Amino acid sequence: MLRSLLLTVAAASVTKLKFGQDVNYPPYAYLDASGELAGFGVDVVKGMNALCSTLEIEVVQTSWSDCWSSDEGGSLGALLENGTLDACMTFTHTQGIRNHYVDFSHAILNFNKAAGLLTLLEEGRPRVDGNSHLAGLNIVDVGGWAPTEDCLGMVRNKCTGEKYSENYTLLVGDGNDDAMRMLRDGRADAMFIYSDQAKLYQCTGAVPPNWNCSLWENFGTDYAYVQTGQLEYVVNGTSLAMAKKGSKVPAQVNSCLGRFMETQAYYDVCEKHHLLDSCYRNSFFPAGEGSSHHAYKATNLLEGDCSSGYCPCPAPERWPGWVDDSGGSGVEKMPQASPEALPLVPSFLFGVALIANLLRGRQCRSKGAAVKSTAFAWQYPFFAETTANGIREPLIWLF
């Protein structure tokens, strides 16, 4: 009798929760070759269930839209709203509208889910380049996914350092495939999306795809990122649980989650899913540096061309013979003259040009013009002036 009572009390003290995930987000959430639910989130839950006797989490398949909907600018999904699910897994803790409706557990991955902009390529050149402020363009957001549509106003252009214009038209696709379809058929000029999503959707055979592989083919040939590494919209990394606001779920799982993330088992899960660079390091992690993949770097740190799927910032335009020896001061200086750089003009024309340039510079200053520096360059136009807004303007055209 006493033993039966003790067992009943022990069973009653176990917290039972039901978490949902979709299956089109490898390596975080997918179906394995046998059709079973798999992914980083599932394996973390298995480890927690094994470690903590007072916690029992069941993972079920659901649609991401049952967790978070893009309707009316963003709202709680139906199954979180009505309590069918206690939480949904592997959502990014973003700033903005989500925080009005949900609470997040601690993160299971570090700040790894940067945003980016995808656009189509034409002969290797992006239709929308990295310097664009997006004014007058159609931008499609992936409905139900982070980064949410309000996050575009939070991130900065990594090539210019500025926020985007507010004068763009925001469209919402019904998931990743629909958003990519809108980009490919020209309804959208660019797509606001995770900066590793296109890479993860390359159908390599490692994970049975639950998306349209043909839409994502020719990454780096048909389309590429012109912005990556945009993290300004993120509060925390990928979470274990996103629950209805006011729920006790985060508090119910955080203690066990913290214990699990200090174990060898957490390291093993990170290694299994090739996420060592994104995981929180514990004592079982070997020494090493972070990821060097383009998806996790800011665009201004990239080099090369768009063939990798990740375009660098557009190179600043330079006239032939121009060299930048400003040393980071922002004041460009005269290059060393060379036979190739110096136009073959009569010496008297050179003298006339020089005198005219000096007189003009004197006139500009007497009128209070905002001139940062005068930079001489062997070029057509023959001399250039760098104004306060950083634009090099011609002073004298020789031809």
Residues 226-284 pLDDT 10s: 999 999 999 999 999 999 999 999 999 999 999 999 999 999 999 999 999 899 999 99
Q: Does the pTM exceed 0.85?
A: no
Span 213-232, mean pLDDT?
A: 97
Neighbours of 159 (CB within 10 A): 20
Pairing of strands 15-21, 55-61: parallel
Neighbours of 61 (CB within 10 A): 12
Pairing of strands 92-94, 234-238: antiparallel
Beta bridge partners of 394: 384
Which residue is associated with the tokens 């972070």? 290
pLDDT of res. 290? 57
Domains and CATH numbers, the chain: 11-110+235-272 (3.40.190.10), 115-230 (3.40.190.10), 317-399 (no CATH)
pLDDT digits (tens, 9 = 90+) for 142-170: 998 999 999 999 999 999 999 999 999 99
Query: Taking CA 173 as the corner, what is the angle to CA 295 and CA 143, rounded to the nearest 5 degrees?
Result: 75
Residue 167: burial class (beta carbons within 10 Å; 0-12, 13-18, 19+): exposed
> pLDDT confidence of 93, banded at 50, 70, 90?
very high
- Cα 271 from Cα 290, distance rounded (Å): 14
**CA count, 13 A, side-chain hemisphere, 334:** 11
Q: Which of 28-32, 216-220, 284-288, 333-337 has the lowest mean pLDDT?
A: 333-337
pLDDT of res. 330? 28
Express as a percent the part of the chain with pLDDT over 90. 68
